[in-house]
Structure 1
Amino acid sequence: MFWDGAPNVLAYLAFLAFPVVIVVLFTRMRPHIAAAYSLLGGVLFLPEVLEFDLPVIPPLNKGTITAFCVLLAMMWKAPQRLSAARAFRGFDFVFVLALFGNVMTSITNGDAIVTGPVVRPALSLYDAFAGSVKDTLGIWLPYFLARSICRTPEELAELVRITLRMAIAYSFFCLFEARFSPQLHRWVYGYHAADFSMTLRGGGYRPTVFMLHGLAVANFVLSGTMLSITQWKLGKTKARLAAYLAVALALCRSSGALVYAVFFLPLMAFVKKPRFVLPLILGVLVLTFPILRGTGTVPTEWIVEKMEAVFGEERALSLWFRFDNEDTLLERARERIWFGWGGYDRNRVFDPVTGEDMVITDGDWMIQLGVGGAVGFVGRYALLVLPLFVLYRKRKQIRDRKQQLLYAGWAMIAGLNALELLPNGLFSWLPYFYSGVLAGAVSAIGTARAVIPLRPRGPAARAQQRASLAPPMPKQGRGGRVVAA
């Protein structure tokens, strides 16, 4: 749905011109760097909501188009990286479980659902095919590309710098919209991507820039702030950069991101020894949350009370309403717990007489559990958190402290972005990008690739490294004879 306007010519030209931009980047940069800029640039700057509905396959949006174009560019410039990443093996294998779940969901939902005047159709094998194509392009492909462009600790350091640069650039747009209201998407592409009233928060505006929701923008700025702290601890940036991004994050006016910032940013900044246990805890929480929530282990009433004490009654009521809807949807999901209800809103609860929708779904975990069941949930979310588990298991093999800081910093980003899918929706594939990068970097631990030193900064440092790696010059003895050094 287009809000307050319609796509202009520039919106369509942006999609047509973006492949050209990718080609230019790949001809001027190393493939993994060009791919990183292309993947992030497409998600951050192409128009939202606009889709291209081609025959047979599901509609393509900016996320799927970006990932597919980068795949073609990688096949052109760096096919060896794709083959080395070994598609659908290693970390990717859990995604096969999600594809299997799509087939079983269609098989077990051959019945139509009638609620008053509304009939929701039965599923067929075509729905399994369409859902698998959608998941492959929208989830697995960005994850796989991220794995392929990060194969060494040095490349992880480069991706940290690239993501931080993009976050800094995006922060300027955030500051503009925080002052003048979210208008950039409408000014550039001719329409608002979402309801403008959703941007009003705390007596000001919540920036959306070129993304679907202000929550997505806040999470990206939070990720950039965390990376700036990592770079500061590595001696690559000044502390004032982290302070600036923290201010930009505050002006994004997202209570969830602010809670994460208050708790996690001081830990990253002032705990001297890198910690790998916290990302592990986040991964365990994400993967077991449906069980914890379904058994009543999560103290929802206590959380609502604390929310009211800190953020006021309005935010507390919003959270209570969310928990109440989750309880209703959980009861619905239990009826077909293993493979879910499938698409066409069959997982939702409707009035049996009028057919009116009686629930609102916020958290992506609840959507995946209701649509794909436990199998679909595990297939998608294990892809996100499995690198956190493997990193913790291999942590003692990371000897270099700088590499420990890099791995720990990126793992925190991957863990928090996965955690954010519990209360909120999946606005883009960025969480899968972060986890895919970590999966690629974790694969290097304990191999010959892991001993590659981080690239030194500055001409003098690089010259010193080249000198240290150069073979020793032979000594010349009497009479011009060459002797061993």
Structure 2
Amino acid sequence: MPNSLAFLMITSWPLVTLIMYLRMPPRTAVIWSILAGYLLLPAGMVLDLPGLPGLSKHSIPALFGYLYVTLLLGRRVRIMPESKAGRILVVMLLLSPFLTVLTNGDPIFINSSKVLPGLRPYDGASMLVGQVGFLLIWALGREFLRDGAAVRQLISALVIAWLWYSLPMLYEVRMSPQLHIMIYGFFQHDFAQMMRQGGFRPIVFLEHGLWIAMLTSMSALLCVVLGREAGPGLSRRYYMAAAYLVVVLVLCKSVAALLYVLLLMPAMIFLSGRRLGQIAMFMGVLILSYPIVRTLDIVPTEALIEMAGRVSEERAQSLKFRFDNEDALLAHAMERPLAGWGGWERSSIHDVTTGETVSTTDGLWVIAMGYSGFIGFIAQFGLLCLPIFLLSGAYRTAGREISVLMGGTAVVLAVNLIDLLPNATISPITWLITGGMLGYLEQLRHGVPEGEGAPQPAPAAPRGPRPYAGLVGQGRIGPRSLL
């Protein structure tokens, strides 16, 4: 059960977010309110208030950040993107809950003692509210991270945050995942799943060890991107940071996350921005086509299980368990392929004798398919992949070559999205990167954003006392800046 500190942190974060927006430039406040909230607030805890949607570490920074931007700054944050494809995807995302309700008004009789209720309009509104938090993060990213300097600030913030976050991670590798229990009074997941290869995998304040491994691999790859963009004096530091994070990633004991880094690190070091964009686009095609490929049973699941068995029998059994559950859940989802089954465990598989749920959902794609069908899957994953597919066209319209910064960021985003096939490692950081990239590409179509190239030298600081100094970079007069 959460302790008083957990409740204090959740309830005080709106105030923390307000202070950030009052004391920082807007784009810095957007980045750090969302990033710090996700990394520091308790996981698996939802604050239910009468008449309001459940508030958690995912929704509080976005919801209150949106309110502060609108009410205090008078800034209109648009939900609809500029591209026609983006508008269609947003409309699909907003309408999919109500289409699911319209096609699931019937109750499901599991046995004589268990009946799953039909969906009502209230359920559609509840499903929509659950999507608003991520959509607001995406919209804030589009509005405030619309140039190359802002995108660089975002990925630099993630790298800096992760270098600091690696310290409690290393503590948990040595001492076992105890920080969430010690600080917030409860463990956010199954402790047995944090035990691997005779040791422990860290989790700190995130949902699972897989999440922390995924973000570690993304941060290591982003270090290389920043190293290629930096000058000769700084590039070595970024490469050393990347090597350090790879060592931390090995200690996270996640084969998939480590494999992404080993396969893509050479490309991130040597390939041009255009080639990196092509790799990201290829990965995006794989992501969007995966449900069709799995439905047609084209994926060589047996061969993949055999390859995993060469690493360890435990990995092979885990992968076979995932594929078996995917097959069963996908067959169930295909009974209502257009809009899915909705909530109340309707998308799960139940034992007809006991009425208990016997299926386990790991991949976000199969969760989306069962919950909201092809409409929901295409809306969510299409919106996440949209900047990857718009990257080449936006640069071609501007008459420029794709930069390493944007090509590398697109690959890192694609890596995160690829991992949503076996896992559900989506986070506010995923939506923030997607929104920031999309906003940048929209600006690129209208002209050349400033600050895309190598970092510009900081202006000379004025003489006299400096009441505030940034944690990174030159000190300056004015609001405190983390970057």
TM-score (norm 1): 0.88
Report how far residue 186 of structure 1 moved: 1.1
Larger radius of gyration: 1
Could you tell me which amino acid in structure 2 is paired with residue 191 of structure 1? F
Report how far residue 455 of structure 1 moved: 7.0
State the partner residue of 1:285.
Answer: 286
The 2-side partners of 1:258 and 1:228 are apart by 15
Runs of 5+ consecutive residues of structure 2 not aligned to the other structure: 463-483
Deviations 1:239-295 (A, max 9, x none): 211111111111111111011111111211233555211110111111111001110
State the partner residue of 1:214.
Answer: 209
Shift of the 88–386 alpha-carbon distance from structure 1 to 2, 3 Å rule, reads closer
Report how far residue 89 of structure 1 moved: 5.5
Report how far residue 234 of structure 1 moved: 1.3
State the partner residue of 1:391.
Answer: 391
Q: Secondary structure at the match of 1:63?
A: coil
1:54 to 49, 52, 56: 49
- Mapping of 1:317-356 within 5 angstroms? 317-356=317-356
The 1-side partners of 2:456 and 2:395 are apart by 26
State the partner residue of 1:429.
Answer: 428
State the partner residue of 1:28.
Answer: 23
Deviations 1:70-116 (A, max 9, x none): 11232245443x44x45465435412202222111111111111112
Report how far residue 17 of structure 1 moved: 2.6
State the partner residue of 2:245.
Answer: 245
- Of 68-77 and 94-103, deviating more is 68-77
Shift of the 92–415 alpha-carbon distance from structure 1 to 2, 3 Å rule, reads farther
1:150 to 136, 145, 167: 145
State the partner residue of 1:366.
Answer: 366
Task: Give yes or no for contact 1:339–1:374 (8 Å, CA) kept in 2.
Answer: yes
State the partner residue of 2:61.
Answer: 66
State the partner residue of 2:419.
Answer: 420
Deviations 1:143-169 (A, max 9, x none): 111111211112112212212111111
The 2-side partners of 1:366 and 1:168 are apart by 33
The 2-side partners of 1:100 and 1:188 are apart by 40
Q: Secondary structure at the match of 1:450?
A: coil
Deviations 1:13-70 (A, max 9, x none): 1123322322332233211011101110111110111111123444221111121121
1:299 corresponds to 2:300: yes
Runs of 5+ consecutive residues of structure 1 not aligned to the other structure: 1-5, 464-485
- Mapping of 1:76-475 within 5 angstroms? 76-80=71-75, 82-83=76-77, 85=78, 87=80, 90=83, 91=86, 93-116=88-111, 117-137=113-133, 139-235=134-230, 236-238=234-236, 239-272=239-272, 274=274, 275-309=276-310, 311-397=311-397, 404-426=403-425, 428-452=427-451, 454=453, 456-459=455-458
Task: Give yes or no for contact 2:37–2:61 (8 Å, CA) kept in 1.
Answer: yes
Shift of the 398–269 alpha-carbon distance from structure 1 to 2, 3 Å rule, reads farther
Task: Give yes or no for contact 2:250–2:258 (8 Å, CA) kept in 1.
Answer: yes
RMSD of Structure 2 on Structure 1 (CA): 2.1
The 1-side partners of 2:169 and 2:332 are apart by 39
Could you tell me which amino acid in structure 1 is paired with residue 410 of structure 2? A
Report how far residue 126 of structure 1 moved: 1.0
Q: Secondary structure at the match of 1:349?
A: coil
Could you tell me which amino acid in structure 1 is paired with residue 302 of structure 2? E
The 1-side partners of 2:48 and 2:154 are apart by 33
Q: Secondary structure at the match of 1:23?
A: helix
Task: Give yes or no for contact 1:179–1:205 (8 Å, CA) kept in 2.
Answer: yes
Shift of the 404–143 alpha-carbon distance from structure 1 to 2, 3 Å rule, reads same
Task: Give yes or no for contact 1:280–1:392 (8 Å, CA) kept in 2.
Answer: no
Deviations 1:345-393 (A, max 9, x none): 1111112232232221111110110110111111111110011100122
Shift of the 400–7 alpha-carbon distance from structure 1 to 2, 3 Å rule, reads same
- Of 451-460 and 121-130, deviating more is 451-460
Q: Secondary structure at the match of 2:43?
A: coil
Q: Secondary structure at the match of 1:366?
A: helix
State the partner residue of 2:474.
Answer: none
Q: Secondary structure at the match of 1:445?
A: helix
Q: Secondary structure at the match of 2:115?
A: strand
The 1-side partners of 2:47 and 2:450 are apart by 45
Task: Give yes or no for contact 2:5–2:184 (8 Å, CA) kept in 1.
Answer: yes
Deviations 1:134-192 (A, max 9, x none): 1112x211111111121111211221221211111111221111111111111111111
Report how far residue 451 of structure 1 moved: 4.7
TM-score (norm 2): 0.89
The 2-side partners of 1:452 and 1:318 are apart by 46
The 2-side partners of 1:61 and 1:88 are apart by 26
Q: Secondary structure at the match of 2:203?
A: coil
Report how far residue 457 of structure 1 moved: 4.5
The 2-side partners of 1:210 and 1:459 are apart by 35
Q: Secondary structure at the match of 1:269?
A: helix
Could you tell me which amino acid in structure 1 is paired with residue 381 of structure 2? Y
Task: Give yes or no for contact 1:363–1:423 (8 Å, CA) kept in 2.
Answer: yes
The 2-side partners of 1:68 and 1:325 are apart by 35
Report how far residue 214 of structure 1 moved: 0.6
Task: Give yes or no for contact 1:36–1:149 (8 Å, CA) kept in 2.
Answer: no
Report how far residue 426 of structure 1 moved: 4.4
Task: Give yes or no for contact 2:416–2:425 (8 Å, CA) kept in 1.
Answer: no
